[in-house]
Amino acid sequence: RRDMAIRVLLLAGALLALACSHGATASDPSLLQDFCVADKMSPVRVNGLACKDAKEVTAEDFYFSGLHVTGNTTNKQGSAVTAVNVAQIGGLNTMGVSLVRIDYAPFGLNPPHTHPRSTEILTVLEGCLHVGFVTSNPDNKHFEKVLNKGDVFVFPKGLVHYQYNNGTTHAVVLAALSSQNPGVITVANAVFGAEPSIPAGVTTKAFQVEKGTVDWIQAQF
C-alpha cells in the first residue's frame, strides 16, 4: 500500500508539473530581468520586440508626455484616441500594460471594436458616456451602462464594445489595457473597408441585404 501511495503521489506530481508547463506556454511568460526596453532598430523579429542593451537604457525609455493634450475630434466619428503603448514607450515591452486617452466631441462615438489581445478598464474624467459590450455567440448579450465623471467600466478581452458621448459637452476618459500592444479591430472598417474588399456575395448574405446597400456602405470607407 505504501508503494502504491508513493506511486500515486509521484504520478500526481508529474501531472501537476505537466499542467503547469502547459499553462506557462498559454500566456505571456514572466519577466526574466527587471525590464526589456524595446530596441526598435533591431532587425531581430520576435513575439514582441527585442531588448535594448541594458547599459544604453535611460529614464526617457520609460517616459511619455502628451496625455494632457486634447485630441482632435473633428472627424466623422467625433472622437480621438491618444495611445501610450510600446510604440510610444519602449520600456513597456514585455510589461503587459498600456494606456489610452480618448476624447469625444458632443455626440461623438468610439465605434464598435475589439482588442484581440487585451482587457480594458476605463474611467471617465469629464462628461457622460453610454458604453457597452456584446458577448460571444450564440447569446450575443448586450451589457450597457451610462457613465458619469469618476465612473469605471470594464470591457472583457476580445469582446465587441463601444463608447458614445450622449451629452452636449466634451467628454474625456483614460483607459488601461492589459497588453503592451492590445491591437484594435473596428468592426465596420474591417468588414466594409477591407482591402481588397470582401466579396459582395459574402457581405450580402451575412447581413441579409441587397448588393446596392453593401456598395453604399463600402463607399463610406
Annotated binding site for oxalate: 110, 115, 120
Q: Quick one: which H or E segment has residue 121?
A: strand 120-126
> Pick from 182, 127, 168, 116: which is nearest to 151 by CA?
127
- Phi, psi dihedral angles at 168 (to 5 degrees): -100, 10
**Residue list for the binding site:** 110, 113, 115, 120, 161
Spatial separation of the C-alpha atoms in residues 172 and 43, rounded to whole Å: 38
- Phi, psi dihedral angles at 204 (to 5 degrees): -65, -40
Q: Residue 220: exposed, middle, or buried by beta-carbon count in 10 A (0-12, 13-18, 19+)? A: exposed
Q: Which amino acid is at 168?
A: T
Spatial separation of the C-alpha atoms in residues 173 and 144, rounded to whole Å: 17
3-state secondary structure of 58: coil
Give yes or no for a cis peptide into 111 (omega within 30° of 0).
Answer: no
Q: Are 108 and 141 in contact (CB under 8 A)?
A: no
**Residue list for the binding site for Mn(2+):** 113, 115, 120, 161
CA dihedral for 72, 75, 80, 83, sign (positive or negative): negative
Q: Are 41 and 53 in contact (CB under 8 A)?
A: no
